Amino acid sequence: MFAISPVQPMLFEQRPIFVKRDDLLHPDFSGNKARKFYHFLSQDYAHITQLVGSGSAQANSLYSMSVLAKQQGWQFDYYVSHISDFILQHPNGNYAAAIANGANIIEVGQLKLADKYQQMHLDDVVQCIVASDYNNKNSLLHIPEGGRCEYAETGVAILATEIIDWARLRNTKALKVFLPSGTGTTAAYLNKQLLQQQTNNNINIEVLTCSTVGGDDYLRQQFSQLVAQEYFPTIVNDGHKYHFGKLTQRCYEMWQTVCQSGIEFELLYDPVGFLVLKHYLQQHSQWAGDIVYVHQGGVLGNQSMLPRYQRKFGYSE
């Protein structure tokens, strides 16, 4: 369904690395969303009439799910904790594109919910709403926030195969694969699949990831809901605590630096990823093997992130 994404060399911190260009997989299912939603695109879901999802109002998954629902002719309800006044008054990015595809975006804070929901995570609240407010469960597909579900492994397994094939063609014996994590779904399933698939290939592959949301402990908790501990990727950090979506000069400057390569990266996950990778390379300067950075797409979100940086810091593109 998707062509094999190319691997492109890039100079980072005075050393060559390689970028797995999953952002080029498909304009509507870019990066990890192409991998996570591959199962739903390749299987028969003729019995489904309604899709329910949740996350932020500018999530990449919101846009990709809106395309999936539009293609399949499904009604699409998407729950968010909050929609900023600015987005409501100036729709752009993933939010605007999803609305154009017919997404019904519901702000949980505007619903009349029981007090017990107030302290619950958005995904848990939506599970309760689905259980109580949606009648025909047999025709409903609920995809958790960020696509964090067992079905994501189908597409990530293909990513693992592509990486192994590329490493074999390069005659690589030692490889580190780096990608920043939100829910950790892609990193967890990728590490599991690489370990299971490359046992006979004589390639030493290690998956490195970093948390962009709630810290290392949060990420381990997410992994534990998806895979056995033996499949946990290696979590690395640079000593900074990153708050998801918070604008910092460090992140913006790193984004500018890596985009000088000629590859456009996104502004939410990639700056944190490259800051942590920079620290890791400084701590492991003797590493002589190959490094692959997985570009997980999401550049459509830059339409909303760049104006936020401009408003806060006065930056121009």
Give tens-digit pLDDT for 146-197. Answer: 777 888 999 999 999 999 999 999 999 899 999 999 989 999 999 999 999 9
Same-domain status, 118 and 218: no
Tell me whether residue 1 is in a domain: no
Same-domain status, 206 and 278: yes
**What is the span of the domain harbouring residue 98?**
38-142
Last residue of a domain, one of 142, 162, 192: 142
Same-domain status, 138 and 98: yes
Q: What is the pLDDT of residue 10?
A: 97
Tell me whether residue 181 is in a domain: yes
Q: Please determine, for residue 230, whether its predicted confidence score (pLDDT) is greater than 90.
A: yes
Same-domain status, 136 and 185: no
Same-domain status, 242 and 302: yes
Tell me whether residue 198 is in a domain: yes
Same-domain status, 191 and 138: no
Comparison of pLDDT for 200 and 205, the residue scoring more: 205
pLDDT (tens digit per residue) in 77-125: 999 988 888 889 989 888 999 999 999 999 988 887 756 676 788 888 8
Last residue of a domain, one of 119, 142, 165: 142
Tell me whether residue 300 is in a domain: yes
Domains of the chain: total: 2
| Cα–Cα dist 17/12, whole Å | 7
Tell me whether residue 274 is in a domain: yes
Same-domain status, 185 and 269: yes
Q: What is the pLDDT of residue 193?
A: 96
Comparison of pLDDT for 314 and 278, the residue scoring more: 278
Same-domain status, 285 and 158: yes
Work out the end-to-end distance of the chain between its first and last CA atoms, rounded to an integer number of angstroms.
Answer: 35
Same-domain status, 135 and 251: no
Last residue of a domain, one of 87, 111, 142: 142
Same-domain status, 189 and 133: no
User: Largest Cα–Cα distance of the chain, in whole Å?
Assistant: 59
Tell me whether residue 2 is in a domain: no
Same-domain status, 184 and 273: yes
Tell me whether residue 203 is in a domain: yes
**pTM of the shown model:** 0.90
Same-domain status, 129 and 161: no
Tell me whether residue 75 is in a domain: yes
- CATH number of the domain where residue 200 is located: 3.40.50.1100
